[in-house]
Amino acid sequence: MKGSIRNIFYFSVMAGLIVLVGQLQSWNVALSILNLCLISSIMALGVNIQWGYAGLFNVGVMGFAALGGLAAVIIAMPPVREAWAVAGSGVAVGIGIFLATSIAALLVYRKLRKGPLRTVLVMLIVILGYVLLRIYFDPTTKVIEKVNPASTGYLGGLGLPVLLAWPVGGLLAGAVAWIVGKVTLGLRSDYLAIATLGISEIIVAVLKHEDWLSRGVKNVNGLPRPVPYEVGLQNAQWFLSLCERLGADPVTFSSIFVKLCYAVLFASVLLLVLWLSEKALRSPWGRMMRAIRDNEVSANAMGKDVTARHLQVFVLGSIVVGIAGAMLTTLDGQLTPSSYQPLRFTFLIWVMVIVGGSGNNWGAVLGGFVIWFFWIEAEPLGLWLMNFLTSGMAADNALRLHLIESAAHMRLMTMGIILLLALRFSPRGLIPERNHQ
């Protein structure tokens, strides 16, 4: 088994790099990187399910991750009682219109046969629902946004444990993926790409501008945590005695301890998703998916409903991305809509999958680790490089100042070059797909 030795080698090198950061920079930094590596790996797994299993090109990863983030707010934040008091009935009306529209559209979709008539009717219902919402729900949003705009100005959430947001985020992402997939799958692969690009921009626009829902660019801060707070730990007797036994500084160690708790949570989710993906890949279902990917025409001829399978896999992958998105927002402790940038949330994940090895789950995980690590470390490295390159110039040289100031943008270019090099010279990735013949 040459392959598995190589894989163990890759993962040990990765672990070694993180330990090195722990030694050279600090354990706090190393654990932050580790946590984001774990989340990135899950996102990469989600994309790999779509791309590696079925050859679907999803350019809307950002949107599905953002939906996960929204779920974290809706599930975990305490409800804003004042807002509900003044706008509760309005919200009820809004939800009523929304549900009525959805049910009516779904009914028409189910009852009528496929054709232009059905599409037109569904669209008319959706448009009518939209107009009604604008007329009856818009005033309510104004009312909600006026409630204490500096601290709340939104509805808040349900006040449930934040861990619940992870599966809910997945479901939310899956539902949107179903709608997008329903329209675009079965057409050219480019169309899915462009449609997902569009939906992700829209989702992020909603998060940025629907203040009543997500506080918009004012951000939602202070999401409840699934793990203890540093201050709480520093006052807990058991923790202090633990610190004493380890000879660690309680303040530093409390933040390391919190990050370790997150790491354990994230790693469990990663392992669970990985286990499920591997199981699916080896199942008859996985074999069929690969058969379809490798030869769509003949699979179609054999009576496989290619479009329906693609829809399945597209929704599944988006669910995984949604879960990861919710986890990320949980880790951040806040929802920051303006932080959702396509280059960071969509294309970076793609680099992870391509570099790691499309079609191989372990490859996607490794790609998530490697690329995130370099994404983070590229900035100090780039800065160092620029300082080095320009060391011959005067300290106030305009070019030198510009180069040092722009070093941060180098990493975009670096990622592009890594993607191009991987695609060209190692198209099967670090850990290539196994042949299950």
Partner 1 sequence: MTEETLNALALLSNFVLVPAVAYGSQLALGALGVTLVYGILRFSNFAHGDTMAFGTMFTILFTWWFQSMGLSLGPLPTALLALPFAIVLCALFALLTDKFVYRFYRQQRADPVIFVIASVGVMFVMNGLVRFIIGPNDQNFADGERFIIKAREFKQMTGLAEGISIKVSQGITVITMIVVVAALFWFLNKTRTGKSMRAYSDNEDLALLSGINPDRVVMVTWILAAALATIAGTLYGLDKSFKPFTYFQLLLPVFAAAIVGGLGNPLGAIAGGFVVAFSEISVTYAYKKFANYMVPGDDWKADGLMQLLSTNYKFAVSFLILLLVLLFRPTGIFAGKSA
376 counts as binding partner 1 under rule CB under 8 A: no
Residues 228/261, Cβ–Cβ less than 8 Å: yes
Residues with Cβ within 8 Å of residue 288, at least 6 apart in sequence: 299, 304, 309
Q: Which of 31, 34, 54, 59 binds partner 1 (CB under 8 A)?
A: 59
164 counts as binding partner 1 under rule CB under 8 A: no
How many CA atoms within 13 Å lie on the side-chain side of 281?
24
189 counts as binding partner 1 under rule CB under 8 A: yes
State how far the Cα of 215 lies from the Cα of 154, in Å rounded to an integer: 6
**CB of residue 228 vs partner 1: minimum separation in angstroms?**
39
Q: Helices marked H in 55-115 — which ranges? A: 61-76, 81-111
Residues 370/355, Cβ–Cβ less than 8 Å: yes
Quick one: which segment of 3-11, 21-29, 64-72, 204-212 binds partner 1 (CB under 8 A)?
A: 204-212
190 counts as binding partner 1 under rule CB under 8 A: yes
**Nearest to partner 1 of 126, 260 (CB atom):** 126
57 counts as binding partner 1 under rule CB under 8 A: yes
Residues 21/29, Cβ–Cβ less than 8 Å: yes
138 counts as binding partner 1 under rule CB under 8 A: yes
58 counts as binding partner 1 under rule CB under 8 A: no
Residues 219/337, Cβ–Cβ less than 8 Å: yes
Residues 186/307, Cβ–Cβ less than 8 Å: yes
Residues 394/400, Cβ–Cβ less than 8 Å: yes
Torsion of CA 421, 422, 425, 428, to 10 degrees: -170
**Nearest to partner 1 of 178, 191 (CB atom):** 191
Give the containing element (helix H, strand E) for 207.
helix 189-209
29 counts as binding partner 1 under rule CB under 8 A: no
Q: Which of 110, 116, 246, 297 binds partner 1 (CB under 8 A)?
A: 116
Q: Which of 340, 364, 411, 433 binds partner 1 (CB under 8 A)?
A: 411
State how far the Cα of 31 lies from the Cα of 289, in Å rounded to an integer: 36
Q: Is 187 in a helix, a strand, or coil?
A: strand
193 counts as binding partner 1 under rule CB under 8 A: yes
Q: Which of 187, 231, 302, 389 binds partner 1 (CB under 8 A)?
A: 187
Q: Which of 199, 220, 233, 323 binds partner 1 (CB under 8 A)?
A: 199
413 counts as binding partner 1 under rule CB under 8 A: yes
State how far the Cα of 192 lies from the Cα of 197, in Å rounded to an integer: 8
**CB of residue 363 vs partner 1: minimum separation in angstroms?**
16
How many residues belong to the chain? Answer: 437
Rg of the chain in Å (alpha carbons) = 24
Q: Which of 137, 154, 212, 350 binds partner 1 (CB under 8 A)?
A: 350
191 counts as binding partner 1 under rule CB under 8 A: yes
**Nearest to partner 1 of 134, 434 (CB atom):** 134
**Nearest to partner 1 of 351, 365 (CB atom):** 351
Residue ranges that bind partner 1, judged by CB under 8 A:
55, 57, 59, 116, 119, 123, 138, 183-184, 187-191, 193-195, 197-199, 201-202, 205-206, 208-209, 342-343, 347, 350, 354, 406, 409-417, 419-420, 423-424, 427
